[in-house]
Amino acid sequence: MFVMGIDPGLSRCGYGVVVRAPGCGRSGMRAVAAGVLTTPSTDPLPDRLAAVAEAIDGLLHEFSPAVVVVERVLFQTNARTAMAVGQASGLALAAAARQGATVVQYSPNEVKLAVTGDGRADKRAVQTMVTRLLGLADVPKPPDAADALALACCHLGRSRLLERVPT
């Protein structure tokens, strides 16, 4: 199962694609791709939104994930940042729905808890655990890419748990 995590942002939008398959190490997960989409802060807002939307559409077309996980925007101290993150989040949610992928959202604390066992873990702890879970040689950089991989790992871990729970 291919899962794409998206850490939304207008200046930096992280993405990470993870597959769960036999033979992928102890966790059963392997990173397929990770990176960051960027837009210049000097460009007009509509152009930046169009660039992010086009890039997300391209990633969805390239990887055809079954599930797209987008970080839920809960709180930002800066209203301007919150708006930009919310706009990028909306683009990702709409693009994934258009592509026919299952769309899931998790809060930052849910991701931290699933990946590290501590809902208040810092970025370094998340990066370290993502590196271990995916058997990577180096910590994924920049942090937005690591966060996107963490989103995908969170979903794969939760879905594996839910498969084992009798209904």
Which residues are marked as active site? 7, 71, 144
How far is the C-alpha of 135 from the C-alpha of 140, rounded, in Å? 11
Nearest CA-CA partner of 10 in 84, 105, 67, 71 = 84
Cα 148 to the chain's mean position, in Å? 3
67-71 and 29-38: which strand pairing?
A: unpaired
Backbone angles phi, psi at 163, to 5 degrees: -65, -25
How far is the C-alpha of 24 from the C-alpha of 13, rounded, in Å? 27
How would you label 49-68 residue by residue, b for 16+ Cβ within 10 Å and e otherwise? bebbbebbbebbeebebebb
What residues have CB less than 8 Å from 127, skipping those under 6 apart? 139, 140, 143, 146
